[in-house]
Amino acid sequence: MRHSTEHSPGVAQKIFDFYLFSNLHIAVCAVALVLVTREFFGLHLRTELLVFVFCGTFFLYNLQRLPAAFSKGDIDRKFMRHRWNTEHRVLLLLISVIAALAAAWSFFLLYPRTQLIALLPAALSVAYAFPSFYWNRKWIKLREIPVLKIFIVAVVWGMICVWLPVAADDSYPQWYSPEVMVWFVSCSLMIFAITVPFDIRDLTYDGQTLSTIPAMAGVKRAVMVALAALLLSAGGVFLADYMTSLVTMHHAVFYFAWSVVTGVLIAVS
């Protein structure tokens, strides 16, 4: 009788792997940022919006991974997340379909103006993952346009986590009011900052094919750019506090404290 020499992961490890590699964590973070926006502006949000943000984020992040997971070609799966996706591709497909159905159901329950705003980040997300633009005699993904990748990610997250919740509260005067736009820029800058370490990680994977900031400027300069973006993001929250009584000083102080901790983590990435 043969015995496997590989260590079999325990139940806790399997749960953590599922939480991390299935993009469940990413979906939870999207909802968390929506709740930050709710706290900043005192919004009244319906459960349907939170379901839409959670399930939509979960589905769209997995949508770009499913083709590779089901590919029969010779794909070099260097990272653990790639291997997990392949080994659990049926599970990933099943829960992604469920998430897509839940996102569609919740979408039709949103206010019309929220639905219109939701279409833009959804379209950008699809174009980011799949060839949608004709460029230099071939169809390409948005992420393949030099340097554009990280900015698309940042802006899409800003739209979803700032514009959507404000638009979803019909009692709020304008989703494009100055203080909301300041928080939109601050939120996008924060997402930009925390995305830089992932581009650094991916240098070994797509550094030769994608013109990311770390690939073009080097790791140290990329980290400095990320820290500057994070500082500007925190400054934007203080500006929002100055512009409206809804965003208070304790919001800005807590956000600044969080930014300091995040900046340390980025610096050592």
pTM for the complete prediction?
0.87
Tokens of 210: 């994608």
CA distance 43 to 128: 30
Q: Please list, residue by residue across 149-175, b when 16 or more beta carbons sit within 10 angstroms of its beta carbon and e when fewer do.
A: bbbbbbbbbbbbbbbbbbbbbeebeeb
Residue position matching structure tokens 């379209």: 123
Q: 77 burial class (0-12, 13-18, 19+ CB within 10 angstroms)?
A: middle
Numbers of helices and strands, H then E, in the chain? 14, 2
pLDDT for the residue numbered 2: 45
Copy the structure tokens of residue 140: 């390409």
Q: Are 241 and 249 in contact (CB under 8 A)?
A: yes
Q: Could you tell me if residue 220 is left (phi over 0), alpha (psi between -120 and 50 degrees) or otherwise beta?
A: alpha
Question: What angle (nearest 5°) sits at the alpha carbon of residue 30, between those of residues 169 and 180?
Answer: 45
Among the listed residues 166, 128, 150, 129, the one whose alpha carbon sits nearest the alpha carbon of residue 214: 150
Question: What is the Cα–Cα distance from 140 to 134, expressed in whole angstroms?
Answer: 6
Residue 11's pLDDT is what?
87
- Among the listed residues 207, 259, 214, the one whose alpha carbon sits nearest the alpha carbon of residue 237: 259
CA distance 168 to 35: 12
pLDDT of residue 174: 76
Which pLDDT score is estimated for 132? Answer: 79
pLDDT at 75: 54
In order along its 269 residues, the chain shows pLDDT tens digits of 444 445 567 888 889 888 888 899 999 999 999 999 999 999 999 999 999 999 999 999 998 887 776 677 655 556 677 778 778 788 889 999 999 999 999 999 998 989 999 999 999 988 888 887 777 778 888 877 767 889 999 999 999 999 999 999 877 767 788 899 999 999 999 999 999 998 888 776 665 566 778 888 888 999 999 999 999 999 999 999 888 888 889 999 999 999 999 999 999 87
**Under a CB-based contact definition with an 8 Å cutoff, are residues 121 and 162 in contact?**
no
Task: Please state, in angstroms and rounded to a whole number, the distance separating the CA atoms of residues 6 and 17.
Answer: 17
* Residue with the two structure tokens 């005067």: 173
